[in-house]
Structure 1
Amino acid sequence: MKRIKAATVMSQGLVVLKTWLGNLSAGTGLLVLLAGAMIWLVLDITFQGAMREQRTWMMLAFGVLLLVAAARYVTRIERVHAIVENYAQRLGIPLPAFDRCNSIDRLQQRLERLSEEVIAENYALEYQARHDNLTNLPNRSLFLERFESELQSAHDSNASVALFIMDLDRFKEVNDTLGHHIGDRLLQEVGRRLLSVLRRTDTVARLGGDEFAVLLPGADRDHAKLICRKIATALEQPIKVENLRLRAGISIGIALCPDHGQDANLLMRFADVAMYEAKRKQKGFAFYAAGRDNKSISRLGLSSELKEAIEQDQLILDYQPMVDISSGRIFCAEALVRWNHPQYGLVPPEEFIPSAEQTGVIRPLTLWVIDRALAQVSSWSKIGIDLSISINLSVRSLQDRQLPAQVQRLVMLHNADPSRVILEITESAIMSDPLTARRVMRRLSSMGFQLSVDDFGTGYSSLAYLKQLPVDEIKIDKSFVTQMDRDENDAVIVRATIDLAHNLGLKVVAEGVESTDVWDLLEMLGCDTAQGYFIRKPQGPRELADWICSREWKQERWVTPLKLAK
C-alpha cells in the first residue's frame, strides 16, 4: 500500500509540473523579447548622457549576462529532461522523442506521457493489491472491505446478508496427483462457474488455496439454500482440463446476518465452522449452529491427544460385513476405527485421520488398527465365525517403506493367514507417489496380502494403470452405486467398470448398497461383492457376531437379504 500512495503523490506532482511547463512554453519567447526590450530601453535612458564607449561596454555586459542566464536556463531544462528519462526507465515506461518540438514543449509532452503511465500503474497496483492474480476475483482484503460495507448497510436498513465460506473437496489430491498447473486451471473454472450463478450485486472472492467466499446482500435462509443448489448444479458438470474430466465437489458453510451476528470476523468464523460440518457430513452445505461451534473449537486439540488416546486404548473398531452376491455368504468385514473420546463421545475418523497424517501419528494408529483387527479375526474364529478382514491404509502408510515388515510381525504375532487380510488403498494414495506405492504394494502382495483399491472412480487413475499394480479387487465408490437404480449414467459407469475389471482379472466390490433394487441390479451385472446399509450398518464385533450366529441368519441364508438388515 505504501507503493500505491507514493505513486499517487508522484502522479499528482507530475500533473502540477506539466501544467506549469505548459503555461511557460506557450509564452516563453514573447516574454523574453518583451523583457529584453524593456531592459534595453531602461538602460538606454539611464546612460543616454554617458559616453558612447561606456554605453557599449554596458550593453555588452548585459548581453553576456543574458546569454549566461539563457544557458543556465537551457541546462536546467536538459537536467529535468534527464531526470524524467531516468525515472521513466526505472518504471519501464518508454518515452517518445518528440523531435519536432522545442525543448520546453518536448518536456511538457514527456511529462504528460509519464503522468498518464504513472496513473495507470497506480490503478494496476491497486487492482493487484485487492484481487487474486490467478482467478481475478476479489481477494480477502477487498472481500472484507465489501463485507463490512454491506453489514453497515444491512444494519441501517434492517436487511439481511448471507455469507458463504466454500472449500473444494479433495482438491489436494488434484495437486498431488496431476500437478499444480491442473489445480490452477480447475480453480479458474470454478471461479467462472460461481460468477455465472450469482447476481451483479453479489460478491465472490478467493480467500486463498481452494477456499472461496460469497457475499449475498439481502439474502435470507431460503435464498441462501437456492444459491447453494445453483452452485451444486453448476459444478456437477465435469470440468475439462487437458483431456481430463474432473469433478469439483464443494462444501459450503453459511452464516446469516443478523441471525448469527453482525460482526464480520465473527460471521467469517461461524461460516467456516459450518463449512467443516458440511464437509464432515458430506451433505454439500450447512448453516451455522451454535451447538456445533464449541465442539469444533474444542476439537482443534484432538491431534495432540491422539497419541495418548492410542496408548490409553480409547479407540474402538466397528465392522461392516461384506457379502458375496452370488452365494449370499458373508465372507469379510471391513474394520472402521472410531475414537471414544472421554469428553466428546464417538469422534468419526474424518475428524482425526487428516491431523494424524500431518503429525506423523498415522503410523502407530495404522499398526494399532491392524493389531486389533487381526486379534478380532482370531477371536471370531474360536467361536466358529470364519471371516476375512479388510483394513484401510492411508496415503502416508503407503509411502512408509517400513510398513510391510511391521505388518508381517503383527501377522506372525496373531498366527494369521495373510491371504485373509485385505488392505484397502485409495486411488489418491497410489497416484501421489506411484514409484514408492508400487514398491510397497508389491512387497505386501508377495507376503500374501490381498490388495484392494478403495473409492474407485473418484480419483484420477485408470484400469490400464492399475493393470501394472498387484491389485486383487476394486471397490466402486458409493457415489456411483447408491442411486444407480435411478440414475442411468451411474448404472452405465458401474456396468463398464465391472466388465473392464473382470477382463483384467479383478474382483469388484460395490459399496453404498442401500436398497433391494440396487442389489438386484448389481447381481444382474455380475458384481462380486456388496457392502452397505442394506446389508448391515457398521457395528461392534460382538453385535456383528450375534447377528451372524442368530437363528434368523441360519434359517434365511440370504435368500432375501432385506430381512436380515432389519
Structure 2
Amino acid sequence: MKIFERIRENKGFSIILLFSTFFWVFSIVLFIVTNNTAKSELINVESSRALTHYELVLHNIIDNLDKIEVFTTTVGVSELSQDKFDQFTETNSFEGIGFISLSIAPEGVIEYYYVEEYDESLIGLDLVNDERAHVREAVEYSIENDVIVINGPFVLIQGGNGLVFRKAVFEAGEFVAIINLVVQYETLNAQFYNTSSDVVDLGIYDKDNNLIFGELEYEENLDFYQKIQLDNIDWNVGVKVSRDYRISSLLINVTIVSLSSTLYIFAIILGSRFYRSNKELISNQKKLIHFDNLTGLPNRRLLINDINTAIRNEKPFYLGFGDLDNFKNLNDILGHSVGDKYLQDISERFIGIISDILNVYRWGGDEFIFMFNTQNKNDTINLLASIYDIFKEPIIIKETNYNVSISIGVVRYPDHGDTIDDLVKRADIVMYDIKSHNRNTFGFFEDEYLDNLQREVDFENKLNEYELEDFQVYLQPLVKTNTNEIIGFEALSRLFDRNSELINTSEVVKVYERKGDIFKLDKYIVEQTCKYSVKLKKEFKKDFTFSFNISPITLSNEYIEFLELMIEKYKINPIYFVIEIIETTGFKDINESVRLLNKLRGLGFRIAMDDFGMGFSSLSYITRLPLSLIKIDRNFIQNYQSNKFDKMLILTIRDISKSLDIEIVVEGIETEEQLDFIKEIGAHYYQGYLHSKPMNIERLINFLQEIEVK
C-alpha cells in the first residue's frame, strides 16, 4: 500500500518506477532475443560444418566419377578391355571415400569390374533389366537425364551395406555405358558422426527426405534444413537442437528471469541511481551509433553529420579518401583475425593524431576518410605528412612485423563538389589513380580528372565506329614448364584503329561491359577460336588446347546453349577447350555461377580462373568453383622477389592447388630467372614474352612450322 501512496505523491518516483519496469521487461526481452540469436548462430555453425563436410565428400566422389567417365569416353566403350581397365585403376587412387568396388556396364551390362578381392558374381549383371526396381529406376533416370544418381543405402549383392553412385556415359549423344562406384555406408556414416556434437542432432536425407546418415528422422519443425546440390545430386541436411541443450537453455532462462526480477526490486529501492545509469546508457548508445565497433574510430554516420554541418555553415575544408595498400594480400594470406588486428592497431595510431583540424573516420573495410578543417592547402599537406609518419613503423602482431602503406586522394569543398557523394566520388577517383601508378602517397583533385572523364566518353564514341568483325583474335602459346613444349594457346581479342595502332584491350572490355555488349564480343571470340582450332588441327595433325576469357556477365544458360551449338557446328571436342573466368569482374551470384560452371564442366569444358588474386574472389572461391586450372596474374611473378606478400600468395596458391588437384598456369614470364622460379614451385604451364608473344593465325602457323623444321 505504501508504494502506491508514494506513486501518487511523488511524480519523480513514478517516473523511476515506470522506467525501472521498462528496463526490467527490456532486459528479459533482450536476453531472450540474445539467447535465440546465439542459438541460431550455433545452429548455423554446426550446419555449415555439416554442409562443408558433405560437399567435400560429394566433390571427392564426383571427381572420381569424372575420372572414370573421361577414361571411358577417351578409350571408347568398343575398345575397352579388362586389362585397360586394370591399368586405369592401378594408376588412380579411390581411397578416402570408403571405396568398395568400381565397374563399367556397356549398354547396362557389367563387363569390367575392379575391387581389392576380385569377385565375378557381378559380371554379366544387367542393370537395365535388374530385378531390383530401385536399381532399374536409378539407371533409367541417369540415362534419361544425364546426371549422377545415388542408390542406397541397401544390402549389396556382394555383401554389406553400400551406396552406389551411377552415371550414364554417352558417345556422340548415344548411351553406351553405365559407370558404378560403390562405397561403404558404414565408412561415410562414421565420417558423419565426426561432424556431430552434443549441442545439436544432425541428419542427412535423400531427395525424398528418407534418412541416409545419423539418427535424426526428418520432421517439419527442424531448426535448419538445406539442400546440398552438386552435379544434380540432391542430399538434404537437417539440424535440430538436442534435448539436453534445450533443457539447459530453459534452466538458464528461468535463472535469468529470477535474477532480473531481483534486480527490478533493487532498481525501485535504489531509484536515485537510475538517472546516472540512464546517462551512461545513452552515452554508450551514442557511441555505438557514431563509432566503428572494430576500430573505435568515428564511423560513416558521424562523418555525414560533420560534413553536412560544415556545408550548412559554408565552411570550406579538405577531404581525403584513403585505402590501405596490399592489405587485401595480408587479409587473404594470414586470415581475417590478423587483418582485424592490423586495422585495430593502425586505428589506434589514427586516434593519436586526431585534433581540432584533423578527424579520421572509418568508411568501411580498409578505407578511411580524413577531414581537414582548414582552408589552407599547405596546412593540409602538413597534416597528410603526419598521417604518413604513422605508417613508417611496422605494426607488430604476434612478434611479426607487417608493413602496409596507404594511398589518399584529396578534394576541397566547395571547389570539387557541394555534396558528400560528389566529394567522396572525386576523392576516390584520385585515390585509384594514385594506386595505379605509385601507391603510398597522396594527390589532390585536378581538372585533368574531369578531362579523363570526357576522354572516356570520347573513347566510347570512337569504339562505336567499329563492328565485331573488326576485332582480330591473336593466339599466345601455352607452354609446358618442364619440357618447353607448346600444348595450346590462349585466344586474345585485339582491335586496331584505322592507323593499325592497337586500341587498349582492357578499356575496350570495360566499355563493352558497360554497354551490355560483352556477350556479343565473347561469342565472336569463341567462334573465331573454334575456326582456328579446326585449321591448326588440319595443318599439324594435332589437337591443341585453346582457352578464352569470358566475363562473369556473359556466363548464362544462353551462353551454354551457344557453346553447344559451336560443338555441333565445328565438331570440336570440349575437353581441349578451357573457359577462363575473369576474376577481376567478380560474380553477382556465386551460387548460380557455380551451377552454370558445373554444367559447362559436364559438357567436357575445363574451367580456369584468370587473373587470380587480383579481384574479388581470392582464395575463398577455389573450393567452390569446379576449377581445372588457376592462372596466376603477371603482377605477382614480376614482384615476387621484392614483395614477400606476392611470393607468399604464389606459394599458398601452389599448396592449395596441389591439394585440390588443380593445375597452375603462370602468366607474364619474361626472364629465365622467373622461369626457374616457377619450375621450382612446380607450376605446370606458363605464358610470356620469354617464349613468344601473341600472334595472328598466319604468323602463328609460320612460327609453328619453324619450330618443326628446327
Greater share of helix residues, 1 or 2?
1
> Is 1:142 paired with 2:302?
yes
For residues 557 and 258 of structure 1, the distance between their equivalents in structure 2, rounded to whole angstroms, comes to 68
What is the CA distance between 1:86 and its match in structure 2?
1.8
Higher strand share: 2
What is the DSSP-based 3-state SS (H/G/I as helix, E as strand, rest coil) of the residue aligned with 1:163?
Answer: strand
- Aligned counterpart for 1:460 among listed residues 611, 615, 619: 619
How far the C-alpha of 1:253 sits from its partner, in A, is: 4.2
- Give the match for residue 200 of structure 1: 353
Contact 1:206 1:213 in 2 (8 A): yes
The question of whether the paired residues in 1 share the 8 Å contact of 2:509 and 2:518 is answered with: no
Is residue 427–residue 461 contact of structure 1 (8 Å, CA) maintained in 2?
Answer: no
For residue 163 of structure 1, what is the aligned residue in structure 2?
A: 320
Alignment partners' CA distance in 2, 1:90 and 1:487: 58
Distance 2:403 2:517 in 1: 30
The equivalent residue for 2:667 is 511
Comparing 516-525 and 278-287, the one that deviates more: 278-287
Cα distance in structure 1, aligned partners of 2:650 and 2:425: 40
Alignment match, 1:419: 575
Are the equivalent residues in 2 in contact too, given 1:441–1:470 (CA < 8 A)? Answer: yes
Aligned counterpart for 2:546 among listed residues 373, 380, 389: 389
Residue 205 of structure 2 corresponds to which residue in structure 1?
none
Task: Output the TM-score relative to the length of structure 2.
Answer: 0.47
> 8 Å contact 2:479–2:686 — kept in the other structure?
yes
| Shift in CA distance, 520/87, structure 1 to aligned 2, threshold 3 Å | closer
Aligned partners of 1:471, 1:207: CA distance in 2, in Å? Answer: 35
Question: In structure 1, what is the Cα distance between the partners aligned to 2:284 and 2:431?
Answer: 34
Given that 1:131 and 1:138 are in contact with CA atoms closer than 8 Å, whether structure 2 keeps it comes out as yes
Distance in 2, Cα, partners of 1:235 & 1:321: 43
1:268 aligns with 2:413: no
Q: Which amino acid aligns with 2:452?
A: K
Which residue type is aligned with residue 200 of structure 1? Answer: I
Q: Offset at 1:392?
A: 2.5
Higher relative contact order (CA 8 A, sep 6+): 1
What is the correspondence of 1:102-501 to structure 2 with a 5 Å cutoff? 110=271, 112-133=272-293, 135-143=295-303, 163-166=320-323, 188-189=340-341, 191-198=343-350, 199-201=352-354, 203-208=359-364, 211-215=367-371, 224=384, 252-255=407-410, 265=420, 267-278=423-434, 287=443, 288-296=445-453, 319-336=475-492, 346=503, 349=506, 356=513, 363-364=519-520, 366-375=522-531, 377=533, 388-395=545-552, 400-401=556-557, 403-425=559-581, 440-456=596-612, 459-461=618-620, 465=623, 471-485=627-641, 494=650
Residue 518 of structure 1 deviates from its aligned partner by: 0.7
Q: 1:297 to 1:168 in 2, by over 3 A?
A: farther
Residues 20 and 267 of structure 2 are in contact (CA less than 8 Å); yes or no, is this contact kept in structure 1?
no
Residue of structure 2 equivalent to 1:531: 687
Give CA-to-partner distance per residue, 1:63-107, whole Å, 9 cap, x none. xxxxxxxxxx978524553244224544669777699xxxxxx9x
Task: Work out whether 1:546 is the aligned partner of 2:706.
Answer: no
CA distance in 1, matches of 2:709, 2:658: 27
**Pair 1:122–1:497, CA change in 2 (3 A):** closer
Residues in 1 aligned to 2:584 and 2:416: alpha-carbon distance in whole angstroms = 40
Change in Cα spacing, 1:75 to 1:235, as seen in structure 2 (3 Å) is closer
Moved more, 124-133 or 210-219: 210-219
d(CA) in 1 for partners of 2:709 and 2:641?
A: 25
> What SS does the aligned partner of 2:639 have?
coil
With over 3 angstroms needed to count, the CA separation of the structure-2 counterparts of 1:381 and 1:208, relative to structure 1, is same
Write the distance in 2 (CA, Å) between the matches of 1:204 and 1:301.
38
1:441/1:80 CA distance change after superposition, 3 Å = closer
Deviates more, 1:439-448 or 1:382-391: 382-391
The residue identity in structure 1 corresponding to 2:298 is: P
Structure 2: gaps of 5 or more residues: 28-262
Q: Deviations over 1:167-203 (max 9, x none)?
A: 89998xx99xxxxxx98x7885464143145342253
Displacement of 1:478 after TM fit? 3.6
Segment of structure 1 superposing worse, 250-259 or 136-145: 250-259
Query: What amino acid is aligned across from residue 276 of structure 2 in structure 1?
Result: E
Distance 1:532 1:146, change over 3 A: farther
Question: In 2 relative to 1, CA 248–420 (structure 1 residues): closer, same or farther, beyond 3 Å?
Answer: farther
Distance 2:517 2:294 in 1: 35
- Would you say the 8 A contact 1:253–1:273 is kept in 2? no
The count of aligned residue pairs is: 446
Using the alignment, how far apart are the partners of 2:573 and 2:550 within structure 1? 18
> Structure 1: any 5+ residue segments left out of the alignment?
1-72, 100-105, 176-181, 241-246, 559-566
TM-score of the aligned structures, taking structure 1 as reference length: 0.57
Sort the Cα spacing of 1:85 and 1:140 in 2 relative to 1 into closer, same or farther, 3 A.
Answer: same
Q: Secondary structure at 1:124's aligned position in 2?
A: helix
Report the Cα offset of residue 555 of structure 1.
Answer: 7.8
What is the alpha-carbon distance in structure 1 between the residues aligned to residue 587 and residue 426 of structure 2?
35
Moved more, 137-146 or 248-257: 248-257
Q: Does structure 2 conserve the Cα–Cα contact (< 8 Å) formed by 1:452 and 1:475?
A: yes
Q: Distance in 1 between matches of 2:487 and 2:408?
A: 41
1:50 corresponding residue in structure 2: none
Cα root mean square deviation, aligned: 6.0
Q: Structure 1 250/423 Cα, relative in aligned 2: closer, same or farther at 3 Å?
A: farther
| 8 Å contact kept, 2:319–2:423 | no
Q: Distance in 2 between matches of 1:440 and 1:75?
A: 69
Q: Sequence identity, in percent?
A: 18
Structure 1: how far apart are the matches of 2:325 and 2:643? 24
Structure 1 window deviating more from structure 2 (80-89 vs 141-150): it is 141-150
What letter is aligned with 2:619? Y
